[in-house]
Chain A
């Protein structure tokens, strides 16, 4: 009889990252932070808005029960003035374990994308 030896280390994540959960978190954070806000006139305010949003999203993601995952959060925040914008993102990673979630928010003065 063949003896199957089980490895003591795991080669994949025990619980996978679910993009739908992350999208929900991002959507709620963006809505709560940006509802009714306009693009700030001072650059420092814009900096702190965004840093705030990015940190909030990162904190909420860390509260998910995911072990051994690293996170990237990127926030793009701009004034809504009828200009054209094109954003693209490509990643080189392990398709089984890794995933991404992007959400966008728009009101009449600002647009924001976070992922």
Chain B
């Protein structure tokens, strides 16, 4: 089936935060569970897994967006951690969201930026 110019209607262009959030939650749940322990050797792999899962699922959505996904995994040590993000773009077409997850030994924050093309 040939895809014509008119096939991309306005619904495809909206930043669907619920869908993106669901994908991010799935990515985190698929990689580690509530009982996972912070392991400095595995952390590399986990980080990559979460991000890869997210990006692959976003591409499958086939929406006209560019994505940027950041994942932070930090050991729980009593230390504080803050994350801030700001973007300069088109408020109607772009979006940003953040998903947090915590286990007993580490915290995980996934931030996703999407820019409409």
Q: How many A-B residue pairs have CB under 8 A?
A: 131
Give per-residue flags for A84-113: 1 if the beta carbon is below 8 A from chain B beta carbons, else 0.
Answer: 111111111110001010000000000000
Q: A86-B43, A86-B47 are in contact. Are A72 and B87 (CB under 8 A)?
A: yes
Contact residues in A for B85 (Cβ distance below 8 Å): 54, 72-75
Interface band, chain B: 35 or more
Contacts A81-B77, A89-B69: A72 and B113 contacting too (C-beta < 8 A)? yes
Within the complex, what minimum Cβ distance (angstroms) separates B66 from chain A? 4
> Is the beta-carbon distance between B69 and A79 smaller than 8 angstroms?
no
Chain A 46-84 interface residues, beta-carbon cutoff 8 Å to B: 46-47, 49-51, 53-55, 58, 61-62, 70-84
* B positions within 8 Å CB-CB of A: 38, 40, 43-44, 46-48, 50-52, 55, 58-59, 66-90, 94, 96, 111, 113, 115
